[in-house]
């Protein structure tokens, strides 16, 4: 590359700037190594066998099943019970003009109810 003139090509497409060197002896065709081709075929064969064995594609193993549903129930319980009860307490405080007393009582009851519900959810089998 030393001593040879190199021309640069810049192109802007789909939010990316592509820079490439245009050399006269630049390799234009990609040569596929036969060993890599053989390994790619083996990998595809093993993935297919695993898909047939489990009945699930490898990309869908993340968030499926009852365990995930239980986790979502716990999360919604931890967020919803205290927020819902605090909202009810705030509304009671506005009606009775009793500062934060009903809000604090209802928030405490919401946290206790959330704990009880999570205890019930944890007793269920995730299968």
Residue 25 has pLDDT above 80, yes or no: no
pLDDT at 60: 56
When pLDDT is cut at 50, 70 and 90, the band that residue 110 belongs to is very high
pTM value?
A: 0.49
Pair 121, 74: CB distance under 8 Å:
yes
Q: Which of 16-20, 31-35, 37-41, 82-86 has the highest mean pLDDT?
A: 82-86
CA 50 and chain centroid, separation: 23
- DSSP string across 32-66: PPHHHHHHHHHHHHHHHHHHHHHSS-GGG-SS-SH
Q: pLDDT, tens digit, for every residue of 31-79? A: 677 778 888 888 999 988 888 887 765 555 555 667 788 889 999 999 9
């Amino acid at each position: 590359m030393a001593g040879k003139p190199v021309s640069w090509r810049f192109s802007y497409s789909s939010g990316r700037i592509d820079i490439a060197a245009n050399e006269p002896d630049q390799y234009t065709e990609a040569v596929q190594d036969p060993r890599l081709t053989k390994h790619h075929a083996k990998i595809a064969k093993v993935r297919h066998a695993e898909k047939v064995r489990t009945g699930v594609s490898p990309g869908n193993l993340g968030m499926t099943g009852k365990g995930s549903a239980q986790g979502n129930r716990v999360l919604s319980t931890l967020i919803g019970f205290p927020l819902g009860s605090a909202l009810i307490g705030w509304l009671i405080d506005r009606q009775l003009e009793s500062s934060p007393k009903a809000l604090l009582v209802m928030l405490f009851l919401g946290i206790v109810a959330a704990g009880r519900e999570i205890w019930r959810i944890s007793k269920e089998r995730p299968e």
